Amino acid sequence: MNLIAANWKMNKTVKEALKFFNDLNSKTDEFADNEVLICPSFLALSEISKIKHEKIKLGAQNFYFEDSGAYTGETSLLILKGFCEYVLVGHSERRSIFKEPNQLVNKKVLAALNHHFKPILCIGETGDERQKNKTNEVLSQQLKACLKGVSENQIKNLVVAYEPVWAIGTGKNATSAMAQEVHEFIREVLTDMYSQTTARQLKLLYGGSVKPDNAKDLIAQEDINGFLIGGASLEVESFVEIINAAK
């Protein structure tokens, strides 16, 4: 089963989010047999979680690794408990705009796993790093640093999302061959860190300008097990098209 995840980022008022969710929730019978996940804003997450949603899972876009305390503006996993199953960690926008380094991403991954959330760990190279042939080096460093101290048993609850920074919101997606090559490499690194059996079981998502018209080619690749979608997840129609393309 593929995981088709929507990252709404800082979009949709609570009212708009509720309308989208109710629309989507009424169409779940039309969904291909995939796991579907929505990551709205915190406020919308709180409201959406009150709606009965058997076939749609919920996730948070961010959190802080401490349980409580003097961290103005932050939201902890204790606060999120009961509202969602998944949490995004290490998204490139958090890394570049909010200066989150790998060490902080690692603390968040460990906290999420300890609190029994499913983290979606985002990794990806910049356009400059790709041009300099540093893609594999950067991804391997990110994986090793962000997964430090994560046991083989714990990693089974984690999902990795490969999001090349140059493909996010640009309309320039990685071709299916490029994405497959990187996903295969990620699985090799995870095999070295854990075992082949475990690495094979992990879901590897692709993110970066996924649209209804490129979803089919991308999902046909052996090591692509789903998507993390920004722009195209903001309209019910395009999101459902992607869910159904990813059979």
Per CB under 6 A, residues contacting ligand 13P are 7, 91, 163, 168-169, 207-210, 228-232
* 183 belongs to the catalytic site: no
Tell me how far apart the alpha carbons of residues 45 and 21 are, in angstroms, rounded to a whole number: 10
Q: Give me the catalytic one of 91, 93, 100, 183.
A: 91
CB of 121 to ligand 13P, least distance (A): 12
CB of 216 to ligand 13P, least distance (A): 16
- Residue 40 or 230 with smaller CB distance to ligand 13P: 230
- Alpha helix (H) residue ranges in the chain: 14-25, 42-48, 77-80, 92-96, 102-114, 127-131, 135-146, 152-155, 176-193, 196-201, 212-219, 236-245
CB of 124 to ligand 13P, least distance (A): 9
- Residue 12 or 91 with smaller CB distance to ligand 13P: 91
Distances (CA, A) of 241 to 8, 35, 37, 213, 224: 17, 14, 15, 9, 17
- Residue 67 or 213 with smaller CB distance to ligand 13P: 213
Name the residue whose CB lies closest to ligand 13P. Answer: 230
- Residue 137 or 235 with smaller CB distance to ligand 13P: 235
Handedness of CA 186, 190, 196, 197 (dihedral sign): negative
DSSP-derived secondary structure letter, 220: T
* 116 belongs to the catalytic site: no
Active site residues: 91, 163
